[in-house]
């Protein structure tokens, strides 16, 4: 018995001479490459991956960013100097009474410090999902196809990716890399469902 190679369907258009160069076709745009990951994934984070689930990118915010805290403190100090200039009698009050306006004036510093503390977490992007593990070890994930809403996160200063039943919070220092990692997996991919994503920020690629 002999085998014979069967030619595929001809790609020549009607009227095109055999062997002539084919007309140029539309070029498919390759998805962007994911950003560089932080390094070796720790075991406690790897435990959040499913069997055989590929990891595209990961990073973590593990330290407090003191710059926004210092900027807020400096702004409050400048405002205090202005108030002192126009109301020098402020410092003649008893310390018990003076503590109340000072606490109000410097309360934004405490809020920024709390935000920085809360924003500490690890973010992983797989070929289909975003996984977030907080500094306290609480983990959650949302699949790309299940994202229904993208909104500003007032708790961490980043964004919230909200699904039907789950949500993840991305801290501001990891926003750009997380978005790039998602884009590397979703560019050119057609969503299987027709549910629109409410994204007033235009953040989701």
- The partner residues of 60 in beta bridges, in order of sequence, read 122
- pTM exceeds 0.85, yes or no: no
Architecture of the domain defined by 43-62+121-186 = Roll (2.30)
Return d(Cα 88, Cα 94) in angstroms, integer: 14
- Tens of pLDDT, residues 82-131: 988 888 877 888 877 888 888 889 999 999 999 999 999 999 999 999 99
Sheet holding 167-170, edge to edge: 149-152, 159-162, 167-170
**Interatomic CA distance for residues 201 and 204, integer angstroms:** 8
122-165 confidence digits (pLDDT tens): 999 999 999 999 999 999 999 999 999 999 999 999 999 999 89
User: For the chain, which residues make up each domain, given as ranges?
Assistant: 43-62+121-186, 66-116
Closest CA to 119 of 104, 132, 105: 132
């Amino acid at each position: 018995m002999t085998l014979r190679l069967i030619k595929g369907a001809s790609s020549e258009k009607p009227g095109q001479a055999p062997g002539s160069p084919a007309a140029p076709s539309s070029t498919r745009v390759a998805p962007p490459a994911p950003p560089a990951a932080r390094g070796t994934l720790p075991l406690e984070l790897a435990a959040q991956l499913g069997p055989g689930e590929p990891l595209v990118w990961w990073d973590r915010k593990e330290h407090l960013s003191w710059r926004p805290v210092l900027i807020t403190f400096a702004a409050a100090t400048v405002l205090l100097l202005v108030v002192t200039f126009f109301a020098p009698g402020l410092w003649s009050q008893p310390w018990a009474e003076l503590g109340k306006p000072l606490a109000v004036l410097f309360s934004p510093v405490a809020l920024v410090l709390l935000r920085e503390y809360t924003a500490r977490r690890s973010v992983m992007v797989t070929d289909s999902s975003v996984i977030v593990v907080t500094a306290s070890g609480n983990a959650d994930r949302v699949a790309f196809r299940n994202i229904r809403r993208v909104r500003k996160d007032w708790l961490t200063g980043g964004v919230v990716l909200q699904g039907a039943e789950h949500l993840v919070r991305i801290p501001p220092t990891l926003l750009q890399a997380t978005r790039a990692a998602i884009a590397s997996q979703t560019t050119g991919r057609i969503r299987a469902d027709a549910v629109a994503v409410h994204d007033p920020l235009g953040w989701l690629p």
